[in-house]
Structure 1
């Protein structure tokens, strides 16, 4: 059984559809109960293989309730997919009244959820943690978001080594720009979230340490590591365009 957070939209919803199509039993978690319930009914009209659990991943009691509901219904958790994520919605992070909420959702919550499921996985010597990071966790472009995704990626890679030989796998999937509510204002050509959903489903069938999708973003990561001055120029150009668009709106 797979527990999937952030399941009501974007990458999460696409991943739920892909996993259900491949025969996985699912526990779907997100804050938006109506959207979550509609997705669960669509994927499993009989209500035997998909359970919707409205969840606020930043709240300890809500996280515990999610794990308890999943185990009560299906016995044990085989896979945890930490997909829930946010960014600063408008403007710069230093102008946001609560920028650290990005860290609470994107980094703290995956760590705490992992801590809840690990004891049973280690006892069974089987399980898989999949964390949805970002290319922004490899190429720094946005203070709070990149901080959260660099942290999540580092946590994932370290956890994988800490669990070597235990039977528990850890994978990190790092998407670039894909179509979602979060990227709606980016103004870039993007593939749909299905490309990420397939990557998640694939690592469950063939565990890998890290996957970058779409594959073209591997070049961006290479350039940032080996020719950082070029990355600086591209980011500078992007910032100029962003400021220009903001000035036109105001």
Structure 2
């Protein structure tokens, strides 16, 4: 049985104030979705809403630290009150450890894992009951090629975990009308990657991939697709990645 989305499913997008999140917000609003945008930087969200929602009926903004249970519950309460049931959850909020070794900054361990992994698990669990009841839902998790090739310790740990969560959840949901998908970007130009000197594409291709997964869910999408070769190379010839990792640092 094919489960079709309700008209104009309501989308919640975390980490929406910059980078991939900001590009995804533009993509989704451009496609006509009603979108709840969540992030810690409210002023950035306000500027984005003014740009995207001149009529005032397509975008809700909510200040949210996804690591806090109270903020997660408030986000969902506000989103449901304004736009109704959640049809799509995009877990995009993420941080890294700034390129430093994790044992040199032990305070970053919980911050990275709670933001990148645990918050996605918690938020997914909060929306799953209503999605399962309606027999429609899309859970989309923004992972990373770092979830296939370990370089930055904490970031890779969180993204390896997110990949495992998404792929296992997808199998648990088979036949329910609810799907779980992972988008795994390579290096793209965002605030998080600004310290790297080499050229990178912008976040727009990732945003388009996220939007396509709403209409046509897949287990996992790597963006850009050329990173499939990088992943294969890393698995077959790990010494080459060792050499490259020294250059990236």
How high is the TM-score relative to the length of structure 1?
0.93
Partner residue of 2:132 out of 79, 99, 122: 122
1:1-250 alignment, distance < 5 Å: 1-100=10-109, 101-238=111-248, 242=249
Q: Is the 8 A contact 2:99 2:152 kept in 1?
A: no
Q: How far apart are the structure 1 equivalents of 2:87 and 2:100?
A: 39
- For structure 1, the 5+ residue unaligned runs are 243-250
Structure 2 unaligned regions, length at least 5: 1-9
Per-residue CA deviations over 1:118-155 (Å, capped at 9, x if unaligned) read 00000111000000000000001011000000000000
Structure 1 position 234, deviation (Å): 2.1
**How big is the shift at 1:116?**
0.4
Aligned length: 239
Return the offset for 1:215.
1.2
Query: Matched residue of 2:234: which SS?
Result: helix
- Distance in 1 separating the partners of 2:114 and 2:20: 19
Question: What CA distance in whole angstroms lies between the structure 1 residues aligned with 2:100 and 2:147?
Answer: 20
User: Structure 2 length normalisation: TM-score?
Assistant: 0.94
Deviation digits for residues 64-109 of structure 1 (CA, Å, limit 9, x no counterpart): 0001111111110000000000001252221114122100100010
